[in-house]
């Protein structure tokens, strides 16, 4: 029932995602002015910040789905968590790599063991741990439960990443955009950043749905293969 619906929804996310990526990059490179402090190096922000946000959002989402799948024995929810993990890990990796490319010209170093970067690296390890733990367990439902425990325990890391720039003296700059205050950024820069964020969201929904459909089919095939052998 869910499977064909997801199939119909995918293009409605994939095509706007592509259009928004193009628009966001256009605004980011052609309209947004050069930053007077960081020069053009700041333009890394348009991929770095959306990727970092997606890495955190998708982790929380993954933990919620994994938790629901565990608590209510909802298979589809657990499969959703498995599907989210890879895209989340990918965005976290992008945020770390683009961060290194930004750190080198502005701080003079690719990497420091600063609170925000270290906690983001731990986020990547949590994703990798979740993916490999699930891959190591043959029984799908047991893999789901084990993954759910890891995902839920690891959620504590997300607020640590978010508040790390306030709690500790870090090299990483503080938040530019806050919920209750006016952002300290030019309008066109903010527009490019938000368009890129929307593009990343739509992209994530599309690839997560495609992967979810694969996971559903794979598990069905495994089940029918076991049935044929008579296990």
SS3 85: helix
- The residue (of 42 and 70) whose beta carbon lies closer to other proteins is 42
Min dist CB 3 to other proteins, Å, is: 12
Q: How far is the CB of 76 from other proteins (least distance, A)?
A: 18
Q: Which is nearer to other proteins, 145 or 219 (CB)?
A: 219
Minimum distance from CB of 149 to other proteins (Å)?
26
Give phi and psi for 42, each to the nearest 5: -65, -20
Q: Which is nearer to other proteins, 41 or 155 (CB)?
A: 41
DSSP letter for each residue of 146-174: HHHHHHHHHTTHHHHHHHHHHHS--SS--
d(CA 65, CA 77): 5
Nearer to other proteins, 104 or 178 (CB): 104
What's the closest the beta carbon of residue 153 comes to other proteins, in angstroms? 26
User: Which CB sits closer to other proteins, 30 or 113?
Assistant: 30
Helix, strand, coil percentages, rounded to 5, for the chain: 80, 0, 20
Give contact residues for other proteins (rule: CB under 8 A): 29-31, 34, 39-41, 43-44, 47-48, 51, 86-87, 90, 93-94, 97-98, 101-102, 104-105, 203, 207, 210-211, 213-214, 217-218, 221, 224, 227-228, 230
CA distances 3 to 9, 88, 104, 128, 217, Å, are: 10, 22, 45, 27, 9
CA–CA separation, 36 and 135 (whole Å): 48
Smallest distance from other proteins to CB 166, Å:
25
């Amino acid at each position: 029932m869910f499977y064909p619906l997801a199939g119909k929804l995918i293009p409605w996310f994939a095509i706007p995602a592509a259009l928004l990526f193009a628009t966001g990059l256009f605004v980011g490179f052609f309209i947004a002015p050069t930053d007077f402090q960081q020069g053009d190096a700041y333009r890394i922000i348009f991929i770095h910040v959306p990727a970092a946000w997606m890495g955190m959002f998708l982790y929380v989402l993954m933990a919620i789905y994994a938790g629901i799948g565990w608590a209510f024995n909802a298979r589809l929810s657990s499969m959703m968590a498995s599907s989210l993990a890879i895209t989340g890990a990918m965005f976290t990796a992008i945020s770390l790599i683009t961060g290194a490319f930004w750190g080198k010209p502005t701080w003079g170093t690719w990497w420091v063991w600063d609170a925000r970067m270290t906690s983001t690296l731990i986020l990547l390890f949590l994703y990798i741990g979740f993916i490999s733990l699930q891959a190591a367990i043959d029984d799908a439902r047991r893999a789901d439960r084990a993954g759910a425990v890891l995902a839920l325990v690891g959620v504590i890391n997300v607020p640590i990443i978010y508040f790390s720039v306030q709690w500790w003296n870090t090299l990483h700059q503080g938040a530019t955009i806050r919920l209750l205050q006016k952002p300290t950024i030019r309008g066109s820069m903010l527009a490019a950043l938000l368009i890129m964020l929307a593009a990343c969201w739509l992209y994530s929904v599309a690839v997560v749905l495609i992967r979810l459909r694969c996971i559903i089919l794979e598990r069905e095939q495994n089940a029918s293969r076991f049935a044929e052998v008579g296990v």
